[in-house]
Copies of this chain bind each other. A is one copy, B any other.
């Protein structure tokens, strides 16, 4: 099966990918990122839900922008930590996390319903994402919250993570995520942000790496080893001008190579 996938790529079956970006991270008078531009390039928008960023009006505007751009929307729940932008781990109980995830997804789903669209996916944010990637009990709390609320939501998480496993266990469709501009270790894990080679800055290199992931299911690790990486969705960050341009470049190149940019499918098998 895994093998076949590479082959079928020739016929075009595997030649589609989702591009996602974090949006809706403005707050009150504060503007963060350029959502309008980034929504021109991605197929899935992860919308902040008011705990680490975003507020009801920002959420509503973002939902409208995404709808107008034809981009699928998902909830981007985080820790309740506005001043830390959800990037600081909080030793919350599993009950806390489960309820907080329900709350945030519900809040965005309510606004989306009022705007006439539905959520397609859920991607935890920041420290909650990183914690869920490695901690099976947190991952399960999140997956259970998502599944209890709406079984048709697709759970995004790093390829090979506890989060994806928990999503599958909870009966959810999942989408394995890769990062366009991040370096990987031989074992498929991300090079930690603190390290100098963690982020790849050359746009041309980034675009080529993404193409390799999508077309061949392979990418070179920082040690130079070719490793397997078959994402269903690729994260292109949206919070810097350079990143917005990058998302655009990635999209253009992928489309030029015949890859369709579209949200992951909810049916089983859309993730891996």
Does A68 count as interface, using CB distance less than 8 angstroms?
A: no
Does A111 count as interface, using CB distance less than 8 angstroms?
A: yes
Contacts of A81 in B (CB 8 A): 80, 90
Contacts of A95 in B (CB 8 A): 57
Q: What 1/0 flags go to A221-238 for Cβ under 8 Å of B?
A: 000000000000000000
Q: Which residue of B lies closest to A146 (CB)?
A: B114
- Which of B30, B89, B96, B107 is A91 in contact with, Cβ under 8 Å? B89
Does A127 count as interface, using CB distance less than 8 angstroms?
A: yes
Q: What band does the interface of chain A fall in when counting residues whose beta carbon is under 8 Å from B?
A: 35 or more
Contacts of A105 in B (CB 8 A): 110
Complex: how many Å from CA A132 to CA B110? 21
Q: What 1/0 flags go to A79-92 for Cβ under 8 Å of B?
A: 01111110011111
- Which of B80, B92, B107 is A106 in contact with, Cβ under 8 Å? B107
- Which of B27, B88, B114 is A90 in contact with, Cβ under 8 Å? B88
Known A-B contacts A29-B32, A84-B28, A103-B50; A57 and B96 likewise in contact (beta carbons under 8 Å): yes
Nearest Cβ in chain B — how far from A135, in angstroms? 14
| Cβ contact within 8 Å between A92 and B88 | yes
- Which of B88, B90, B99, B114 is A148 in contact with, Cβ under 8 Å? B114
Complex: how many Å from CA A215 to CA B164? 58
- Which of B80, B91, B106, B127 is A83 in contact with, Cβ under 8 Å? B80
Kindly identify, within residues 79 to 137 of chain A, every residue whose CB is under 8 Å from any CB belonging to chain B.
Answer: 80-85, 88-92, 95-96, 99-100, 102-111, 113-115, 127
Does A206 count as interface, using CB distance less than 8 angstroms?
A: no
